Every structure is written in structure tokens, then in C-alpha cells.
Amino acid sequence: MDREAALNTGLVSLGLDLGQLSQAKLIQYLDLIEQWNRAYNLTAIRDPQAMVPWHLLDSLVISPYIHGSRVLDMGTGAGLPGIPLAIAHPDVSFSLLDSRRKRIQFLIQAVRGLGLGNVDIVHQRAEQYRPEKKFDTLVARAFGALPKLLTAAGHLCRPGGTILALKGKDPQREVNELSEDTLAAVEVVPLRVPLLGAARHLVIVRPISSGQANTRADGPKTENSISEHGENRRSRQSKRRRG
């Protein structure tokens, strides 16, 4: 199976309807990573065929959880998951944040070459970044442990916003280390990435403001979902209706 067929198969499995132009941009993006990898060592995945599940599908699997008009990809590296998500959501504004100059150079060229008008690049550390407007959704694929993520980037999420952290094996131990004073809810969602035989989980964190933390009497609500993709969303909606 070539890359184009593997991508199409994966998109169908994820329930994502991307047009031919978007799919062509995703493959072009992999070509850019492969080209720059020779000099910049952007990713550990070198096999062009393996890049489809490990880079594209592993990023797009969280597409149903993106909400709002402004998304920040923290520690984006080679643009993962931000660039695949930006291609899939052309009406959403994405900011790709990284502190390493070589990665920033690649991202600038990639965004320009792919013609992504909904993406901007931020050369900054998350702890030091102070945007004029906070973000609706924060995504992180390889930022580090959850407590570190919340400490470094929690200030970038608007009130009522969501932080999405992609993890491998069950991250419950990391969840247990989070401070109750900074959370409104935490949800762990098992994910199934097509063509990828590896465990994947999504941790959904909804931070609260300091004012809310001072007035809240109960601890954070923690939900462990056992459903996937759209089914998980319907489960959450039904819980709200019953509540």
C-alpha cells in the first residue's frame, strides 16, 4: 500500500472527510519532513511509509476534539500535530510554538510551501509567551509530563478552554499528580490510530481561573472514558443531559 492509499484508508477509519487537495498537502508535508530530516534531524521516523500513521494519523486522531477558532500547538517540533490539524481545519487559526531555531526555520518553509494561510509560527518558550489573546484549545504531543505542561502553558488557555495532551500508555499516574487547585475536569480517552500498533491516549484538561479555584469547594472532576472518537463525545453529552 503506497502512502496515498494508506492515508485515505486511515482517514476513512477516523471518519474524516478530507478532499484531494488536503490529502495532497498532507503527503507534501511528509515530503518536506523527509527532505529536511537529512540535515536537521526533525523526527526519529525515517521510513516515508511509516510517517503516515506515526505523523499524520497520530495527529489527526484528535481532530474531533478541536474546538474554538484559535489553537496553539505547544512544543510543535516538526509541526506535529499542528500542521496536519491546520490542513484538516482550514477555518481555524493555528499557532505553532517552539523554542528551537532550526525547527522554526523548517516550520516557516513548510507553512509557506504548503500555502497554509491559517498558521503562524511563534519562536518562544511556552513559559515566556504572552499572546494578546488566549487560545480556545491547546494541543501538545511531546511536551513532557502533565504537571510540567500545566505549569508552563496553563496561562495560555482562555477561561473555558481545553488542553489536549497526546500520550502513549495509560497516563493515569500523571493525571494523579495534577494539582486539584488548577483543574475543573480531567478526562482520559483511549484512542485507536489506524495502521499504528501502539497504545495512544488523549488527556483532556479543562483548567480553571484563580478566582474560580478560590471559590470552588469540591475537587476536580475526573472522568475515565472507555469510548472512542465521536462515541466518546456522545457519551459526555448524555452525561450532561442526565446531570
Question: What is the reported pLDDT for 41?
Answer: 85
**For each of the chain's 243 residues, which pLDDT tens digit applies?**
899 999 999 999 999 999 999 999 999 999 999 999 988 889 999 999 999 999 999 999 999 999 999 999 999 999 999 999 999 999 999 999 999 999 999 999 999 999 999 999 999 999 999 999 999 999 999 888 899 999 899 999 999 999 999 999 889 999 998 877 767 789 999 999 999 989 999 999 998 754 454 444 444 444 443 333 444 444 444 444 444
Overall number of domains in the chain: 1
Question: Which class for 51: exposed (0-12), middle (13-18), buried (19 or more C-beta within 10 A)?
Answer: buried
213 lies in some domain: yes
172 lies in some domain: yes
What is the value of pTM for the model shown? 0.85
Q: What is the DSSP code string of 77-126?
A: TTTTTHHHHHHH-TTSEEEEEES-HHHHHHHHHHHHHHT-TTEEEEES-G
Question: What is the reported pLDDT for 74?
Answer: 96
Question: What is the reported pLDDT for 68?
Answer: 97
Quote the domain boundaries for residue 234: 62-242
Q: List Cβ neighbours of 184 (8 Å cut-off, separation of 6 or more).
A: 206, 207, 208, 212, 220, 221
Question: What is the reported pLDDT for 192?
Answer: 95
Q: Amino acid identity, residue 189?
A: V
The end-to-end CA distance of the chain, in Å, is: 47
Question: What is the reported pLDDT for 185?
Answer: 87
Name the DSSP letter for residue 191.
Answer: E
94 lies in some domain: yes
According to DSSP, the β-strands at 183-191 and 200-207 are: antiparallel
Closest to 185 (Cα-Cα) out of 148, 225, 139: 225
Question: What is the reported pLDDT for 152?
Answer: 92
Sheet of strand 221-224, all strands in order from the earlier edge strand to the far edge: 119-123, 93-98, 70-74, 135-140, 157-167, 200-207, 183-191, 221-224
10 lies in some domain: no
27 lies in some domain: no
Name the DSSP letter for residue 54.
Answer: I
Question: What is the reported pLDDT for 209?
Answer: 57
188 lies in some domain: yes
- The CATH number of whichever domain residue 90 belongs to comes to 3.40.50.150
Q: Amino acid identity, residue 52?
A: V
